[in-house]
Amino acid sequence: MPISVRLPPGVEQELAQYCASNKLTKSEAVKRALEQLFAQAPEGSTAYRTSARFRGSDKRPGDVARNSSRILRERFRGKPAVG
In a domain, 29, yes or no: yes
How many structural domains comprise the chain? 1
What length is written for the chain? Answer: 83
* Cβ proximity of 26 and 16 under 8 Å: yes
Nearest to 82 by CA among 59, 61, 55, 63: 61
The pLDDT of residue 74:
81
In a domain, 70, yes or no: no
The pLDDT of residue 51:
76
pTM tops 0.75, yes or no: no
In a domain, 69, yes or no: no
In a domain, 38, yes or no: yes
Measured between alpha carbons, how far is 5 from 24 in angstroms, rounded to an integer? Answer: 18
What sign for the dihedral angle of Cα 38, 44, 47, 51? negative
In a domain, 25, yes or no: yes
In a domain, 67, yes or no: no
The pLDDT of residue 6:
92
pLDDT beneath 50: ranges in the chain: none
- Residue 30: domain span: 9-42
* Cβ proximity of 5 and 12 under 8 Å: no
